[in-house]
């Protein structure tokens, strides 16, 4: 059997295809080069700084009057003639606040004056009679017993004059009770009386905040109580948002044995919009101390706990480690770090909120091949 004979051109094509197939099977594609790791974010880093921070104690308390006086009258069954003040009025010491219907009392005072005049006249008559009796006794014109009677009448007249004077003073004092005056300067804080009302002794008619002076009373826990001293500055915020400053006037000498708390009293010389009975949160300034701080944006809160991201090394591209810290006072955008961080640790201060533990980052301003600065200071 004879195979067909191929032309020379066909043989050359078959040889070329065979060589191509051999090259494809043995060589393949060249291996790809390993790609460099890519950072997920460019961040700014910094080390903790030392700064003076004000130590403060944030507590809540109520606004009250330094001294609030309950005012009333000492008469019963007397009608109110006029009320001269209202809530919020500022009054002076001795200023008339209220008047009662004093017509009956005025009549009684006039009667007491008349009785006093009569007693004086009787005393003058008794003195004259006693003196005349002494003269007649010396002439033996009257008996000794008659003269003794005249002297007894004189003593009785003197006693009646003393009684009449006391009655007159009592009537005038009672008449003065018909006018209620301010015992001290201050501000009227409450009014419970109207003209025409019949009042009784001991009933509160008006209330006066002495000198208009308010104070803030804060309740402190046992652990904080010993840190506060007289004269410490207190900063409150009024209902209108305006700051109100005061000073600690007194610290309670004892704690409540059940609640283990004590009261701090702070004077508010300019209370602004604060009023007695309001509730206000305030800060007690305890002085300044040196503290380790970080910018607030460097701290990330996760599950309610504070964390920072610490750079693993000083390279331009590096990993970050999520690290738990403890914090203290916050002031002017800075947060005190009380634990969990060393003074030489570099911390991500911008971009921390987008990171996770172990992420690869590029540090802005870190050293590169051109020899640029290794760290950007915020």
| pLDDT tens-place string over residues 6-57 | 454 444 544 544 544 444 444 445 554 455 567 778 888 888 988 888 888 8
pLDDT of res. 115:
95
Residue 367 has pLDDT above 50, yes or no: no
Residue 89 has pLDDT above 50, yes or no: yes
pLDDT of res. 329:
80
Q: Where are the domains of the chain?
A: 37-66+216-378, 71-101+178-212, 103-176
* Whole-angstrom distance, CA of residue 316 vs CA of residue 230: 54
Question: Mean pLDDT, the chain, as a whole number?
Answer: 84
* Whole-angstrom distance, CA of residue 29 vs CA of residue 24: 9
Average pLDDT of span 277-296:
88
55, exposed or middle or buried, with CB in 10 Å at 0-12, 13-18, 19+? Answer: middle
Residue 354 has pLDDT above 60, yes or no: yes
CATH superfamily entry for domain 37-66+216-378: Efflux pump adaptor protein, beta barrel domain (2.40.30.170)
pLDDT, one tens digit per residue, over 310-328 is 998 777 788 889 999 998 8
Tokens 């909120």 — which residue?
A: 353
CATH numeric code, 103-176? 1.10.287
DSSP conformation class of 286: E
Pairing outcome for strands 179-181 and 78-83: unpaired
For residues 251 and 232, the answer to whether their CB atoms sit within 8 Å is: no
Q: How many percent of the chain have pLDDT more than 70?
A: 87
* Whole-angstrom distance, CA of residue 338 vs CA of residue 318: 26
pLDDT of res. 156:
94
Residue 370 has pLDDT above 50, yes or no: no
pLDDT of res. 256:
84
Please give the CATH topology (third level) of the domain spanning 71-101+178-212.
Answer: OB fold (Dihydrolipoamide Acetyltransferase, E2P) (2.40.50)
């Amino acid at each position: 059997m004879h195979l067909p004979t191929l032309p020379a051109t066909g043989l050359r094509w078959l040889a070329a295809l065979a060589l191509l197939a051999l090259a494809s099977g043995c060589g393949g594609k060249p291996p790809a080069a390993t790609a460099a790791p890519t950072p997920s974010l460019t961040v700014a880093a910094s080390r903790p700084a030392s700064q003076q921070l004000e130590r403060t104690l944030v507590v809540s308390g109520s606004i009250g009057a330094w001294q609030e006086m309950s005012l009333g009258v000492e008469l019963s069954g007397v009608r109110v003639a006029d009320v001269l003040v209202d809530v919020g009025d500022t009054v002076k010491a001795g200023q008339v606040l209220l008047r009662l219907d004093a017509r009956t009392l005025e009549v009684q005072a006039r009667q007491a004056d008349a009785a006093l005049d009569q007693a004086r006249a009787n005393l003058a008559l008794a003195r004259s009679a006693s003196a005349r009796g002494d003269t007649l006794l010396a002439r033996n014109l009257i008996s000794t017993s008659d003269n003794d009677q005249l002297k007894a009448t004189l003593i009785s007249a003197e006693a009646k004059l003393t009684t009449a004077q006391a009655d007159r003073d009592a009537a005038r004092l009672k008449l003065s009770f018909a006018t209620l005056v301010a015992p001290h300067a201050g501000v009227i804080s409450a009014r419970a009386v109207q003209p025409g009302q019949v009042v009784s002794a001991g009933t509160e008619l008006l209330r006066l905040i002495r000198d208009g002076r308010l104070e803030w009373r804060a309740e402190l826990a046992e652990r904080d109580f010993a840190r506060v001293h007289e004269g410490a500055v207190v900063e409150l915020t009024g209902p209108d948002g305006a700051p109100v400053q005061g000073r600690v006037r007194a610290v309670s000498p004892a704690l409540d044995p059940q609640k283990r708390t004590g009261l701090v009293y702070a004077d508010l010389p300019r209370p602004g919009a604060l009023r007695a009975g309001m509730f206000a949160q305030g800060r007690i300034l305890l002085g300044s101390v040196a503290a380790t701080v970080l910018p607030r944006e460097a701290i990330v809160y996760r599950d309610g706990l504070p964390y920072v991201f610490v750079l693993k090394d000083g390279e331009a591209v590096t990993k970050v480690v999520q690290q738990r810290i403890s914090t203290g006072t916050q002031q002017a955008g800075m947060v005190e770090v009380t634990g969990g961080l060393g003074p030489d640790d570099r911390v991500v201060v911008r971009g921390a909120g987008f990171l996770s533990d172990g992420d690869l980052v590029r540090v802005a301003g870190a050293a590169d091949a051109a020899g640029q600065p290794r760290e950007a200071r915020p």
